[in-house]
A and B are shown apart, each in its own frame.
Chain A
């Protein structure tokens, strides 16, 4: 056991830190459009330095980075308080899926514009009637004259209004068992059959969208991984979403905790024994999350298979972030309901943490069934 960075990891981190010092683009401008353009420029800069698709093989513009290097990257981006990238879903999910399951033509066509943020990607998985039970989805794709016609509705789609491509899972065989009749498509968002409507959430903003498809057209060459294999391909996407997020989110929690301690001092509550206990507990939980995620990386690098740590880390992170933002409200006392520039949004936004990317209940099922081997109820 050695918890220090290896010389190569150390060198990677130092180089990245130096690069971030020199190239940090500063504060994001206000306004949705301006902010998005800013994020595109930022991503292009990262792509030029080969930092965008870090884990991608070098032949596709990445570095073939190890899981630890990816974790270091996430950690350093959070530490530097660097703005988010424009094409997160393309980088984290779309690219890896095309690399793992796509044809050579698809790789040549799609990968580069993902890296440079020239083409933004979104994900069309969830439907109004299919949340946790994703495989029950109903959006239908019918083959007609060498192309697919798609009809249905998707929901909770981030960046749909900015996107060129949608990673769409649709039912292509009505008669097959529910996991078997699905196909993974890349759907062009710029067409008549696709309508995007913003979905306003409890924070008041519209970070997500609904997509309505009425005979939207997808050419046959945009199937990824073969007709009927959509579930397997989608699972790769979801695994990529969870892997390696643990460390970055732990650092984000540590930064938020620093701000929470500052708030405690401002409110004159930093010596209050109850708040000290609660803040220390959150600090410990954030450290546990970081350390368990690191142990998971060791395991994954050795076996090549992501363990349950992704599920554990995501569950633990949502619990901790919710508790942290709730504590900020307690510290604010009778002024808590007054809209606060730092805390109100985070407090409300945190309610989604235990739902998005796998509800806590589903994550507990995964741990109970796949790790502990408990019987399934279903």
Chain B
């Protein structure tokens, strides 16, 4: 039993960390967030690095790695809070790779892997998908409704851009429409597990960064003649952030590993990860704001971008409460009668 990254995984992590540290300076992020835009040049570079296809099979021009490697990138993207269509495109790739026929995979995966024909997933419930990332710019949309999925070209579905608290990501409301190509080589809803896990990894990165910002501030900020981090009211709050961030990381790593190596466990594992990381992402960033005091509540400070991303992520692809109910179901509290759809 070994939780250590392999040398290759470690290399992916450090390359991503350095690249994003250089390319996603706070001023740049702020500029993009305030304009509600992504940086095309940055996306092109991410594509050159092969990131969009990291988990896509080599036969479809991806790198042939797994969900774990995808999650390593996701954590770093959360840490850097880089505005980009990376996640939405990966979500589409995960569904198509899982449930597409050979012909369908051949048609769509290379474009997703290269980043030239981006996709996204609209998770349709009660007839509409209210919060779909990047549907306004994707070339194709996977409409996932229960255990049915169809792929539609951009323009076929009704896409209406929505304003959210998270200005580092673009969202739309999608209503199904147009003729789609049905994905039925496997149950497409099974791909929700790695999608939720990838979001959990992003939340871990957001939590880690929010915690580091709080700790750094608590060491510098002086009140009553000493750094505020010397007071247990502050230092214990920081310790709590660390505990929650590490727990979220542990359960997310497990869920990613399960997707790659123990698929029968991935349903429970991913719901545990998404439930825990959704809460942790929010609580850690909110606690960080409290440690920052008044400055943390200003638009000028960068923390609010992290706080808002954490909240939005926590509500995408299942809230903490929904995933917890799923955990209850899978862990031993099966319902006597299936819940009404």
In terms of DSSP, what is the predominant structure of the interface of chain A?
Answer: helix
- Among B127-135, B183-191, B247-255, the stretch in contact with A: B247-255
Assuming A1-B3, A291-B250, A294-B3, is B226 touching A375 (CB within 8 A)?
yes
Which of B4-12, B100-108, B139-147, B172-180 is the contact stretch?
B4-12
**Is B23 in contact with chain A by the CB < 8 A criterion?**
no
Q: Is the CB of B251 within 8 A of A288?
A: yes
**Residues in A whose Cβ lies below 8 Å from that of B261:** 2-4
A315 close to B219 (CB less than 8 A): no
- B residues 111-157 touching A (CB-CB < 8 Å): none
Q: B325 to A368, Cβ gap below 8 A?
A: no
**In the assembled complex, which residues on chain B have CB atoms less than 8 Å from the CB atom of A289?**
247
Q: How many residues does chain A have at the interface if contact means C-beta atoms less than 8 Å apart?
A: 50
Give min CB distance, B50 to chain A, whole Å: 20
Q: Judging by beta carbons under 8 Å apart, are B242 and A377 in contact?
A: no
Known: A295-B3, A374-B215, A375-B227. A367 touches B333 (CB 8 A): no
List of A residues within 8 angstroms of B238 by Cβ: 368, 372, 374
Identify the stretch in B25-33, B162-170, B229-237, B294-302 within 8 Å (CB) of chain A at 4 or more residues: B229-237
A116 contacts chain B at the CB level, 8 A cutoff:
no
CB of A204 within 8 Å of the partner chain: no
Q: For the complex, is A200 an interface residue (Cβ under 8 Å from B)? A: no
Once the chains bind, are A4 and B1 in contact (CB under 8 Å)? yes
Contact B9 A1 (CB under 8 A): yes
Do B232 and A5 have beta carbons less than 8 Å apart? no
In the complex, which residues 17-44 of chain B have their Cβ closer than 8 Å to any Cβ of chain A?
none
Chain A nearest CB from B278 CB (Å) reads 11
Quick one: CB contact mask for A191-216 with B, threshold 8 Å, 1 for yes? Answer: 00000000000000000000000000
Contact B4 A298 (CB under 8 A): yes
Contact A364 B235 (CB under 8 A): yes
In contact, A276 and B1 (Cβ under 8 angstroms): no
Q: By the criterion CB–CB under 8 Å, are A367 and B239 in contact? A: yes
Contact B253 A291 (CB under 8 A): yes
- Establish whether residues B242 and A373, one from each chain, have CB atoms under 8 Å apart when the complex forms: no
- Knowing A276-B324, A285-B247, A287-B251, the reply to whether A1 touches B239 (Cβ < 8 A) is no
Tell me the nearest residue of chain A to B275, going by C-beta.
A284
When A and B form their complex, which 3 residue pairs have the shortest distance between CB atoms, in order from nearest? A291-B250, A288-B247, A368-B235
B residues apposed to A, CB below 8 Å: 1-6, 9, 68, 215, 218-219, 226-227, 229-232, 234-236, 238-240, 242-243, 246-248, 250-251, 253-254, 257, 261-262, 272, 275-276, 321, 324-325, 327-328, 331-333, 335-336
